[in-house]
């Protein structure tokens, strides 16, 4: 296994060597004798024991997530690794009821999986853990427990601080992604019947219990207010991690800042890789895709097989430089930043349009933010930022003269601004800053951005922006645009105020060097059946805007090969003169065709206002309603307690289903109608 051919770039890459065995329906015992976890295991056909690569998510191994995992799992199994995808307790094929979002107890499931796997004859006892997004969170959470068998991890684009990374990003309300898109996706998975185990009575009992007893993720997320102690308890402390970590992020991902914090604070051997990606695996991104599985293989080989492949001799930080001369650059460390005492460059930006005394007013506009695209919203393959000009003209802007030399913006820039006394009194409840590069033709390219939610009135504010490596070309101008809106990522302020800005200063790190060109050969991402939709529609009459994001995914379930189609569409709408009336609507559906020809249809609909969230979920088989329920949640910040009200009646829904004319129902699902 240690003798491997050289890849074109000189790095050692193991070839495919093994046939692959797939074990579905694997049951993993836990400390609770009434609860076992469901898993699928890919492993090489060999009499020798092999290391294990573990992934733990709530996204169901029998549906889209399992289909996405199948390719990498088979690829690693062909190269001598067992790969196990485990459904978190209360999801997919696992027993029990769902825990709250990002619950620390999910590490218990991972430890149970590690204990079970390392006791198998086919496992060497060495485990690597990895995952994207939620899978990255469970990877980090498990690593904080420091199990002896866990020898290396690859966390990809995970949240770390559940409150400020995921639920209330930057301390603000983010209903589009937090409540509607995340809530809708997970409710769909909760309602979907078992697909790999259609005839298994235990699987059907799990599903029926989940329908009627599990609290959906959106209910937990709606209940958790800013600075909720329960949310604080879900944050991960990366300093507790000593396991070697290859940290992977994307400049346009919603957790880019989080993965940098992980890299900075983990205590064991570590590396950082950040590419020009949104929320997707690096090898699957439609832009800037790289042969990431080969990179991961070398990491696993070093730590799980003791292969001397030189991985630790390579630079610690590899990033994709944006802007002028884009490409991969390598650094020995993350650059020192203003907050860490490194050398910095200070740039004072004069107002683009100034009033008396050289200050600039900002007049609230809740439609600002649309040109930033779908960055920081959790979308994987479409919606990159467009020309920022339309948002710039609605903001208070500060722009330099044309640059006399290139400027390399590295790390996390810091912005300081001084405010005059607001005309309406008080202080701005939110400040949004976008840093852009302005070309000679006036087009404005987003470099990075940041949000601050002040806790009290001050005459000046200073805060860091999201991390970036961007070279601004000579002749371009730097611009800072200030507003209070990042729509549709953040819900518009219900009661915004105008404010006056007297000065703005940008502070950026002076890197030790411009980085060394690094060879990460590009690949063409595999073609998929996924289709994305992103539309911005403006209404000149009332100054309103509507942003729609959606996707369609089709394929076959990884176990039974059942054809499916999954769709989602979310639209956020706001009028310039009525930010309090912003509404976000989401529709989510999954259609699966059984071997009998019957169609399972699961639908979830969301409607989110400033003070209320309405949700409806339904399951039908060939038009026969099996389950129907509605929920209503108060989002009023002034309420002492959040009450989730079930406004549906399960008894009436089930009775109605039994009274409905029966369409022909195959034996596979007949028990669902009477259970």
Q: What pLDDT score was predicted for residue 352? A: 82
Q: Is 527 exposed, middle or buried (0-12, 13-18, 19+ CB in 10 A)?
A: exposed
For residue 336, is pLDDT > 80? no
Work out the pLDDT band at 654, boundaries 50, 70, 90: very low
Q: What pLDDT score was predicted for residue 424? A: 54
**Domain 338-514: homologous superfamily in CATH:** Galactose-binding domain-like (2.60.120.260)
Q: What pLDDT score was predicted for residue 652? A: 38
For residue 1, is pLDDT > 70? no
Share of the chain above pLDDT 90, in %: 80
- Kindly report, residue by residue over 212-228, the tens digit of the pLDDT: 999 999 999 998 888 89
> Which residues have a Cβ under 8 Å from the Cβ of 322 and sit 6 or more positions away?
251, 276, 447, 468, 469, 470, 471
C-alpha to C-alpha distance for 199 and 204, rounded to whole angstroms: 8
- Kindly report, residue by residue over 515-531, the tens digit of the pLDDT: 899 999 889 877 776 78
Average pLDDT rounded to a whole number, residues 554-571 = 95
Give the residue range(s) of CATH 3.40.50.1820 domains in the chain. 1-9+19-160+243-313+518-527
Q: Are 454 and 428 in contact (CB under 8 A)?
A: yes
Q: What pLDDT score was predicted for residue 426? A: 77
Count of positions (residues) in the chain: 675
For residue 129, is pLDDT > 60? yes
Work out the pLDDT band at 356, boundaries 50, 70, 90: low
> Which residues have a Cβ under 8 Å from the Cβ of 458 and sit 6 or more positions away?
419, 427
Share of the chain above pLDDT 70, in %: 89
Q: Are 463 and 414 in contact (CB under 8 A)?
A: yes
C-alpha to C-alpha distance for 198 and 526, rounded to whole angstroms: 31
For residue 670, is pLDDT > 60? no
- Kindly report, residue by residue over 236-287, the tens digit of the pLDDT: 999 999 999 999 999 999 999 999 999 999 999 999 999 999 999 999 999 9
Q: Are 622 and 598 in contact (CB under 8 A)?
A: yes
Torsion of CA 45, 48, 53, 57, to 10 degrees: 60
Q: What pLDDT score was predicted for residue 337? A: 65
Q: What pLDDT score was predicted for residue 225? A: 87
For residue 657, is pLDDT > 60? no
The domain 1-9+19-160+243-313+518-527 is placed in CATH, from the list 3.40.50.11540, 3.40.50.1820, 3.40.50.300, 3.30.390.10, at 3.40.50.1820
Q: Are 118 and 125 in contact (CB under 8 A)?
A: yes
Matching residue, tokens 């993993």: 28
For residue 61, is pLDDT > 80? yes
Q: What pLDDT score was predicted for residue 16? A: 84
Q: Are 29 and 52 in contact (CB under 8 A)?
A: no
Q: What pLDDT score was predicted for residue 340? A: 60
Which of the two residues, 357 and 84, has the higher pLDDT score?
A: 84
- Kindly report, residue by residue over 22-33, the tens digit of the pLDDT: 999 999 999 999
- Kindly report, residue by residue over 164-174, the tens digit of the pLDDT: 999 999 999 99
Q: Mean of the per-residue pLDDT values for the chain? A: 90
Element (DSSP H or E) covering residue 295: helix 292-305
Helix runs in 235-291, H state only: 256-265
Work out the pLDDT band at 324, boundaries 50, 70, 90: very high
Q: What pLDDT score was predicted for residue 211? A: 93
Work out the pLDDT band at 474, boundaries 50, 70, 90: very high
Q: What pLDDT score was predicted for residue 529? A: 64
Element (DSSP H or E) covering residue 389: helix 389-392
- Of 257, 289, 259, give the one whose Cα is nearest residue 276: 289
10 Å Cβ neighbour count for 668? 14
For residue 672, is pLDDT > 90? no
- Kindly report, residue by residue over 393-415, the tens digit of the pLDDT: 999 999 999 999 999 999 999 99
Helix, strand, coil % (nearest 5) of the chain? Answer: 25, 35, 45
For residue 640, is pLDDT > 50? no
Give the residue range(s) of CATH 2.60.120.260 domains in the chain. 338-514
For residue 367, is pLDDT > 80? yes
């Amino acid at each position: 296994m240690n003798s491997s051919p050289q890849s074109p770039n000189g790095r050692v890459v193991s070839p495919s060597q093994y046939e692959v065995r797939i074990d579905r329906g694997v049951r993993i015992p836990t400390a609770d004798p009434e609860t076992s976890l469901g898993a699928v295991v890919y492993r090489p056909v060999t009499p020798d024991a092999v290391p294990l690569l573990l992934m733990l998510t709530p996204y169901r191994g029998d549906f889209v997530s399992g289909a996405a995992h199948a390719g990498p799992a088979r690829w690693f199994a062909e190269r001598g690794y067992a790969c196990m995808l485990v459904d978190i307790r209360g999801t997919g094929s696992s027993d029990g009821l769902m825990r709250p979002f990002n619950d620390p107890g999910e590490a218990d499931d991972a430890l149970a999986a590690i204990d079970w796997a390392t006791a198998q004859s086919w496992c060497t006892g060495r485990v690597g853990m990895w995952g994207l997004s939620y899978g990255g969170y469970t990877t980090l959470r498990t690593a904080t427990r420091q199990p002896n068998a866990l020898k290396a991890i690859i966390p990809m684009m995970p949240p770390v601080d559940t409150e400020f990374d995921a639920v209330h990003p930057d301390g603000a309300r983010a209903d589009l992604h937090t409540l509607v898109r995340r809530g809708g996706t997970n409710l769909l998975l909760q309602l979907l019947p078992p697909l790999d185990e259609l005839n298994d009575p235990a699987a059907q009992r799990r599903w029926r219990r989940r329908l009627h007893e599990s609290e959906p993720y959106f209910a937990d997320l709606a209940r958790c207010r800013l600075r909720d102690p329960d949310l604080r308890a879900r944050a991960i402390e990366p300093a507790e991690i000593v396991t070697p970590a290859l940290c992977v992020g994307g400049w346009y991902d919603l957790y880019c800042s989080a993965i940098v914090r992980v890299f900075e604070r983990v205590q064991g051997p570590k590396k950082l890789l950040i590419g020009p990606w949104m929320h997707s695996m690096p090898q699957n991104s439609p832009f800037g895709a790289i042969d990431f599985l080969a990179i991961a293989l070398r990491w696993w080989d070093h730590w799980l097989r003791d292969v001397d492949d030189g991985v630790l001799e390579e630079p610690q930080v590899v990033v994709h430089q944006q802007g002028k001369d884009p490409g991969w650059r390598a650094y020995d460390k993350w650059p020192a930043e203003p907050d860490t005492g490194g050398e910095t460059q200070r740039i004072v930006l004069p107002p683009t349009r100034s009033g008396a005394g050289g200050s600039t007013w900002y007049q609230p506009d809740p439609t600002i933010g649309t040109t930033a695209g779908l960055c920081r919203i959790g979308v994987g393959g479409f919606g990159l930022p467009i020309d920022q000009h339309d948002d710039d003209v609605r903001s208070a802007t500060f722009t330099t003269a044309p640059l006399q030399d290139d400027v390399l913006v590295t790390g996390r820039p810091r912005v300081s601004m001084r405010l005059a006394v607001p005309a309406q009194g008080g202080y701005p409840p939110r400040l949004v800053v976008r840093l852009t590069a302005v070309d000679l033709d006036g087009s404005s390219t987003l470099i990075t951005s940041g949000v601050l939610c002040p806790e009290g009135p001050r005459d000046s504010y200073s805060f860091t922006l999201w991390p970036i490596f961007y070279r601004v070309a000579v002749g371009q101008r730097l611009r800072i645009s200030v507003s209070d809106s990042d729509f549709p990522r953040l819900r518009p302020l219900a009661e915004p105020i105008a404010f006056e800005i007297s000065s703005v200063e940008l502070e950026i790190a002076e890197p030790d060097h411009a980085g060394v060109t690094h060879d990460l050969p590009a690949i063409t991402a595999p073609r998929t059946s996924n289709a994305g939709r992103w539309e911005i529609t403006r209404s000149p009459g009332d100054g309103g805007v509507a942003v729609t994001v959606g996707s369609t995914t089709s394929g076959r379930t990884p176990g039974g090969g059942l054809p499916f189609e999954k769709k989602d569409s979310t639209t956020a709408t706001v009028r310039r003169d009525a930010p309090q009336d912003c509404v976000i609507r989401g529709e989510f559906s999954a259609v699966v065709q059984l071997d009998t020809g019957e169609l399972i249809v699961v639908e979830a609909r969301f409607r989110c206002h400033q003070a209320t969230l309405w949700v409806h979920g339904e399951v039908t088989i060939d038009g026969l309603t099996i389950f129907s329920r509605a929920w209503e949640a108060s989002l009023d910040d002034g309420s002492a307690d959040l009450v989730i009200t079930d406004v549906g009646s399960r008894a009436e829904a089930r009775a109605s289903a039994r009274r409905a004319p029966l369409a022909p129902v195959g034996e596979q699902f007949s028990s669902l109608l009477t259970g």
